[in-house]
Structure 1
């Protein structure tokens, strides 16, 4: 968990790029947030790793809206692309976050479980709102890692299936 919004997304994106540059087969999704001038909200896009496509997973609900802006259908489309590509040749699954959808049994939950079944290490972002749901899902098997590139690299080096 990082202290500011967007920092985890940027960190996971940098880490996934660095791992791919080293020749690792990285699957999953990373998120990019783009400020929408004057709206106070951002557009949220995810890119399916390793090479796309990208999907807008936020929807504009209009000025003053307070509801959830997640476009769950767009997220599930991205998830479908991840599932179609994920296999035992993967060295790593990166997930932008274990969020509301995953807490409800949707979103990237199936790819996370599939990767673990294949012995593929999984790195994901987590916020405090969904920490309890993640702990229940992980059954005590998760490891918290400091949110910096060096700590992520050290974790990957000792991950059992990492190449």
Structure 2
């Protein structure tokens, strides 16, 4: 592997199926916090009630909230994008506020989506963390992979959809490797 790729603190998990990355990033956030890593970003929460549509998303702003629903309630049989852009911008603002207490050690993002691909959403926060050399891990689906690859300029590391892989990568890139705290066992 190219050494420049290994030194660039951006990684992604390609979602093989809808929602597969969400529990991985959520558990990774728990383990990283236990390892003493200050986090920023968002992770998707499991729905308290079965969602009426698979694209309904509730986010937890790291490290401690708030929780924000970024989906429009369009009804069970609606098609197309359910993203509520205003709610997404609220989540971005809340993440910015959480960073005001000092820089995070790592940035987790549930999904690099269309908004980020078009230069909106969390894109500036991702770029800021990367410029500061802090690790960023995001989920990505196949639809948005080409625009993500253009954003990453071929420098992102693909991680398996596995909690241990995410935690180990973040700790190694951030220089905070504490192997005894990595596993949950």
Q: TM-score, normalised by structure 2?
A: 0.80
C-alpha distance in structure 2 between counterparts of 1:142 and 1:111, whole Å: 16
Task: Please list every run of 5 or more consecutive structure 2 residues that lacks an aligned counterpart in the other structure.
Answer: 1-13, 177-185
Find 2:118's aligned residue among 97, 104, 114: 104
Question: Which position in structure 2 is the counterpart of 1:6?
Answer: 19
Q: Aligned-pair distance for 1:152?
A: 1.5
C-alpha distance in structure 2 between counterparts of 1:42 and 1:144, whole Å: 24
Q: Aligned-pair distance for 1:158?
A: 2.2
C-alpha distance in structure 1 between counterparts of 2:16 and 2:155, whole Å: 24
Q: Deviations over 1:112-138 (max 9, x none)?
A: 001112221101101110111001111
Tell whether 2:137 aligns with 1:153: no
Q: Is the 8 A contact 2:45 2:57 kept in 1?
A: yes
Question: Which position in structure 1 is the counterpart of 2:135?
Answer: 121
Look up the SS of the partner of 2:42 in the other structure. strand
Q: Aligned-pair distance for 1:92?
A: 0.5
Which has the higher relative contact order, 1 or 2, with Cα contacts under 8 A spaced 6 or more apart?
2
**Cα gap change, 1:55 to 1:65, in 2 (>3 Å):** same
Look up the SS of the partner of 1:116 in the other structure. helix
Tell whether 2:104 aligns with 1:90: yes
Q: TM-score, normalised by structure 1?
A: 0.90
Q: Is the 8 A contact 1:27 1:90 kept in 2?
A: yes
Look up the SS of the partner of 1:15 in the other structure. helix
Tell whether 2:153 aligns with 1:139: yes
Question: Which position in structure 1 is the counterpart of 2:30?
Answer: 17
Q: Aligned-pair distance for 1:61?
A: 1.2
C-alpha distance in structure 2 between counterparts of 1:112 and 1:67, whole Å: 26
Q: Deviations over 1:33-82 (max 9, x none)?
A: 4223xx44453111100000110101111242213111111011110111
Q: Is the 8 A contact 1:91 1:162 kept in 2?
A: no
